[in-house]
């Protein structure tokens, strides 16, 4: 069994073409368009054949979060706060330019958060965040079972 599996980006997929015919296991042919990882052997034929670049091969074991020095973490924190502030200011202004600045600041802030490890499923930051959610007082409709399932499923590999 390969150490990769295929993932389809539904926004890029133009539907009903090559991957449905070349996949040897039928993993690509599902009702909800999500590739069936239970059937996927990781051969990569679908990704090679897709005319839209909609399929990516993803490693089953994710690489460890990149380490950053204290200096870099502090710089990211300052930059992130400034992007959040700029997003907040532009959200209060009118016009397309302000909307574009708001959006671009949001994207840059998300990149910084990802770079800091908060959006990587394998990072200690993400796991601490999820555990923190379970420790908090939450409403009755808070999906605790979903958070617990995520913690059980996501392998953490970046704790020293
Ligand atoms: S990687 Fe191979 S088995 Fe998996 S979905 Fe693509 S073609 Fe099918
Ligand atoms: S080959 Fe690509 S575009 Fe075609 S159905 Fe598969 S994922 Fe979608």
Q: Considering only CA atoms, which of 94, 19, 88 is closest in space to residue 52?
A: 19
| Cα 30 to ligand 1 centroid, rounded to whole Å | 12
CATH architecture of 4-59: 2-Layer Sandwich (3.30)
User: Which of the ligands is closest to the CA of residue 54?
Assistant: 2
pLDDT top residue among 69 and 2: 69
Question: pTM for this one?
Answer: 0.64
**99-146 residue pLDDT tens:** 999 999 999 999 988 887 777 888 888 899 899 999 987 788 889 999
Domain ranges of the chain: 4-59, 78-114
Q: Give the Cα separation of 131 and 154 in Å (integer).
A: 12
Instruction: Determine which residue's CA is closest to atom 7 belonging to ligand 1.
Output: 23
């Amino acid at each position: 069994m390969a150490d990769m599996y295929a993932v389809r980006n539904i926004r890029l997929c133009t539907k009903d073409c090559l991957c449905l015919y070349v996949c040897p296991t039928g993993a690509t042919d599902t009702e909800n368009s999500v590739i069936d990882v239970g059937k996927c052997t990781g051969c990569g034929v679908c990704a090679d054949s897709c005319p839209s670049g909609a399929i990516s091969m993803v490693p089953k074991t994710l690489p460890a979060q990149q380490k950053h020095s204290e200096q870099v973490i502090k710089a990211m924190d300052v930059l992130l706060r400034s992007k959040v502030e700029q997003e907040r200011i532009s959200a209060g202004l009118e016009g397309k330019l302000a909307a574009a600045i708001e959006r671009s600041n949001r994207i840059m802030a998300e990149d910084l958060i990802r770079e800091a490890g908060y959006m990587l499923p394998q990072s200690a930051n993400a796991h601490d965040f999820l555990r923190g959610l379970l420790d908090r007082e939450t409403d009755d409709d808070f999906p605790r079972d979903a958070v617990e399932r995520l913690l059980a499923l996501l392998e953490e590999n970046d704790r020293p």
